[in-house]
Structure 1
Amino acid sequence: MSSPQFPDWFTMHKILFVDDDPTELAALQTLLRAYRRNWQMTFCQSGPEAIQQMAENKFDVVVTELKMTGMSGAELLRYVRELYPDTVRLLLCSQAEYSELFNSVGPAQQYLTKPCDPELLYDVVNRTCLLNERLAQTGLRAVVSKVDALPSLPAVYLRLVDELRREDASVDRIGDLISKDLGMTAKVLQLVNSSFFGLPVHVKDAAHAAALLGLNTLRPLVLTAGVFRQLEKSRIPAALLEKVMKHSMAVGCLAKRLAEIEGMNRDDSDNALLAGILHDIGKLVLAENIGRDYSIVTTAAEITNLPLEQAEHDQFDTSHAEVGGYLAAIWGLPQDILEAIAYHHDPSGHPGKKFSGVTAVHAANALVNEAELLESESELQRPTRDRLDHSYLARLNCTQSVDLWREIALQKRAAC
């Protein structure tokens, strides 16, 4: 196995591997020998030994086996998250455990199945580190320091995630769980019955929604409903909240559709839906916490016809995309969702080589914006409506799909 060529964004990372099985640890060490010039690697046989190593050395990444005697991998990563929040946390598990953990909110930023493919591990480590570095930039930290309060994960969502992890998860139990919160139920039904889903019947209750859409599709809607309910009580102007929510639903539904036609599996397509719905959550965080300054920036962007994210960077040295990615990271959402939110205006900054959630959300956002501008009465805006990153799409060999994506976006817009 040849050592990979270093891309421009590469930096050597210090990585700690933990497994209490000496045979598996030795096998992993042998498997990763080709990466000795790329990574500084340390190997430990227990959670306590790893904690001692971290007290003595700074590590960029911790990769641990899930099931270990004494301190489990999940317990170790909770400790790491508490004491070393900037450290990337990866968990190795079996395929069965992966299926259970994939959509959970937990201490790991990524889950990898065993036996672990070294090239996949290399890609995941570097992608996660790159995103962490992006979210650690000075401008973002300066903005976050001014934030008084962030939306929290709804309690109903956390209970829903627990229910979905059960082998006998049922529509009726999930319907009952959501229905106990009347406000949440009303918001979920508002979203489900919106034109974005185009359901042929009126959905009357949460169990009915779960039966029609599927349990996994209901999960992002519960999170969305809970977050937007919190923001309705904030200082954000109602018109802005409604505008962002309507746009975000359109982007989420289109992102899911693009993911499906490009062959992504159900879990990844559902994550594209959630990332699309949340992609502009950073705008609302900024509007709530630095409202006056942010209003000046948005107004200036509109007057000068400057892309909003560029105006944000000019003023704050960060953008709503990074703020949204930061919030998703605090929530512990899966890495693919974080990336899709943080890179939705700058997908070329993502090192991926194939269609992913980043591609789905970037394209969906650009095409929904384009469709919205086509309805605008201002002819001056129309020459600047194409916001697709064509060099990024060419890198992924996706250019030939753009016309089909645009047609789907226009069809969905006409149906709304």
Structure 2
Amino acid sequence: MTRRILFVDDDPNLLQGLKRMLRSMRHEWEMAFALGGQEALDQLGRTSFDVIVSDVRMPVINGVQLLEEVKRRFPHTVRILLSGQSDAEMIMSAIGPAHQYLAKPCEADVLKRTINRACMLGDYLSNDRLKQLVAQVETIPPLPSLYLELENELKSSNSSVDRAAAIVAQDISMTAKLLKLVNSAFFGAHRPIADPVQAVLFLGLDTLKTLVLSVKIFEQIGSQMASGFIYDRFWAHSLAVGEYARNIVLAENGDRRMLEETLAAGLLHDLGVLLLASQLPDAYQETFQIAAREQLSLEEAERHTLGATHAEIGAYLLGLWGLSTSVVEAVAFHHNPHSCPTRQWSPLTAVHVANALLHDTTDGLERTGASDEVDMAYLDSLGLSERIATWRDLGSVPV
């Protein structure tokens, strides 16, 4: 299937440069180039596009204004903003309309990879109604501003723990949550920690970024929840799955990157539940009732009533935000890992096992009908079925 990509800039020389740089993709993408925001809107009105990539600084209609209009009129189109370091203030105003941000100058491989991943997101969510819901929802900005500030700090050549801690300290609720977590059994600090700088030193910058992403996403989702939804229990379950999955990876001597991706996937594996409970409370309450009455799993009931599952919706949203493929796949397939096109030991394996073994503690929702079980055929295909006893003994960490 050919993907349609629209590139927007007010400089014709830059558009010509993009054409040359992406010439090798002409057989995979149908590319169009618009000289400015108005021409881009005219083209979008005539043809549907999978992805729009726009420069931020343009006259008359700048990149932020353009993507705001694209979000309103063409919500299915993935929106990517190209910006320079001097555009930091404008980027912060683009938190709502842009899904992802790329720094200029952008290398060809980075641009190709980002666009290809954006095009693949439709595979995780085929239901048009729910795709539009995810694309339009206002209560979940594409990425929390605190997370973006931290990410920019970590990318800088002279990043420091002190500056990272100062960024977090701007947000009182985040600081309180961070100190609560670092002093809990979840992380097991050997002595009380009351200083945000010491908390960051203890956690490490990558873990800090993962926690900030999870906490701020959950905070930003609206308060209107389906009846039977218990937020505190949902958060406790997310933490438990994240830490349990991380312990499984530790037991298998996973590297640092896999540990961080596993923690992120575990914390965010039920993001779609939170989204549906907040945005479709009545329909989702009906989903719970059908699951309980007909002894279905929650995802079976979701498929029946909504046409897509919370796992698919959560994965789609995380993919829009540009999280790694490993994290997106772990969220998308945590109930049915055998359906994942990537068949190897990965964060998905650990998150699936952790979630299944902890499932009796509930997901923050009143129990539905059928329970999750570990997919032993999937583990056997990876040569890991004999490890389940060891992983089961790891248990959960109380929060």
2:351 matches 1:364: yes
Determine if the alignment matches structure 1 residue 160 to structure 2 residue 150: yes
Q: Distance in 2 between matches of 1:233 and 1:399?
A: 41
Moved more, 201-210 or 15-24: 15-24
Of 269, 272, 278 in structure 2, the residue corresponding to residue 279 of structure 1 is 269
Partner Cα separation in structure 2 for residue 257 and residue 90 of structure 1: 35
Trace 1:261-410 onto structure 2 (pairs within 5 A). 261=252, 266=257, 269-302=259-292, 304-325=294-315, 327-328=317-318, 332-334=321-323, 336=325, 337-347=327-337, 350-352=340-342, 354-355=344-345, 359-361=346-348, 363-373=350-360, 385-388=372-375, 390-391=377-378, 399-404=382-387, 407-408=390-391, 410=393
Q: Higher relative contact order by CA 8 Å / sep ≥ 6: 1 or 2?
A: 2
Question: CA offsets per residue over residues 20-75 of structure 1, 9 Å max, x none?
Answer: 3867854642x447xx3xx25437597779947656644334578x8x9x869xx7
Structure-1 residue corresponding to 2:177 = 187
| Post-superposition offset of 1:310 | 0.6
Question: Which structure 1 segments of 5+ residues have no match?
Answer: 1-10, 94-100, 376-380
In 2: Cα distance, 1:226 partner to 1:139 partner: 26
Q: How many pairs align?
A: 369
| Structure 2: gaps of 5 or more residues | 84-90, 363-367
**Greater alpha carbon shift after TM alignment, 17-26 vs 337-346:** 17-26
Counterpart residue number, 2:109: 116
The residue identity in structure 2 corresponding to 1:320 is H
Aligned AA (1:192): V
Q: CA RMSD in A?
A: 4.8
TM-score (ref. length: structure 1): 0.67
- For normalisation by structure 2, the TM-score amounts to 0.69
Partner AA of 2:172 in structure 1 = L
Structure 1 stretch 297-306 or stretch 106-115: which is displaced more?
106-115
Instruction: Give the letter for the 1:172 counterpart.
Output: D
Structure 1 pair 402–77 and aligned structure 2 pair: CA distance change class (3 A):
farther
1:1-400 equivalences in 2 (<5 Å): 11-15=1-5, 20=14, 25-26=19-20, 28-29=22-23, 31-32=24-25, 36=27, 39-42=28-31, 51=40, 57-61=47-51, 79=66, 82-83=69-70, 84-88=74-78, 107=98, 109=100, 114=107, 116=109, 121=112, 127-132=117-122, 134-135=124-125, 137-141=127-131, 150-152=139-141, 154-229=144-219, 235=225, 240-257=230-247, 261=252, 266=257, 269-302=259-292, 304-325=294-315, 327-328=317-318, 332-334=321-323, 336=325, 337-347=327-337, 350-352=340-342, 354-355=344-345, 359-361=346-348, 363-373=350-360, 385-388=372-375, 390-391=377-378, 399-400=382-383
Letter in 2 for 1:367: A
Secondary structure of 2:31's match? strand
Identity %: 29
